[in-house]
Structure 1
Amino acid sequence: MLLKKNIKVGKNKFIFYIINFLISFSFCYADDLETKYTNIKILDKISSKNVLIKLTNQRDHIYKDLSIKSMKCQNSKFDDNPETTAYIQVKDLTDKNNDNVFVFNGWMFSSSPSIAPFDHPVYDIWLVSCY
């Protein structure tokens, strides 16, 4: 007589473990804390002066010849040294095609600003914090 193994119990256990793994895996990732304000520093290379500017997300801010808009700013949650990232758009108002072209359009990182550098002959911008 052939013995049949009860594999239904094994399938149910396997599905149960997979579901538990997926649920616990989704909780272990660090959530990003989205904020309303972005602090950036602007260096005027001609006068060698630093200015700290508080930007409200989703609003344009005019600083001399630049139009700066912070689309999103977030802090990572579960780090000893939390990373601050912001999506920033910058237009040069002296440029004739300023409606079409961004001088900078991308993510900035506070811990390593050289990953996505802001390249402008007069100004230098870097991310300080989000709150």
Structure 2
Amino acid sequence: MKRLAAALAAALLAVPAWGQEQAAQGSAAVLRALDKVNGHSMDAEVAVGTSAEMFGLMVSVSECRYPAENPTGDAFAYLTVRNSSDGAVQFEGWMIASSPALSALDHSRYDVWVIRCSSS
């Protein structure tokens, strides 16, 4: 059900309505990870098509999009999050920067969310 809601939200964001802005492709996603046990956080810029290890998770970015007319506007990215130790998928889908709880990683210790897209 969460994946369906996330897919619908992403589809609505990707298809412009009357007067709505077009989405541009970013070259990387800026992500933040939180270790909920000790309160440490870290940021990483992950290029589209690559992965980065954030705490005990391997985070892959497939796409990152943002409003073309407003590069600092709301970003959304397609992420795959796996355990580094066994490769088990913990999350796969669209994550929206302004609403990370809409489609969130469900992990007992770690949290990951999108901050923005980067085009550099």
| TM-score, normalised by the number of residues in structure 1 | 0.69
Q: Extract unaligned runs of 5+ from structure 2.
A: 1-15
* Structure 1 CA distance for aligned equivalents of residues 103 and 17 of structure 2: 29
1:127 and 2:114 aligned: yes
Q: Which residue of 1 aligns with 2:41?
A: 50
Which consecutive residues of structure 1, in runs of 5 or more, have no partner in the other structure?
1-24
* Equivalenced residues, count: 102
Aligned structure 1 segments of 4 or more residues deviating by more than 6 angstroms: none
Q: TM-score, normalised by structure 2?
A: 0.75
Partners in 2 of 1:43 and 1:77 — Cα distance? Answer: 29
Match for residue 104 of structure 1 among 80, 91, 94: 91
Write 1 or 2 for the structure with the bigger share of helix: 1
- Cα 1:32–1:62 change in 2 (3 A) is same
Identity %: 22
Root-mean-square deviation (CA), in Å? 2.3
DSSP 3-state at the match of 1:103 = strand
Instruction: Answer with 1 or 2: which has the greater Rg.
Output: 1
SS in 2 for 1:114: coil
Change (3 A) 1:43 1:26: closer
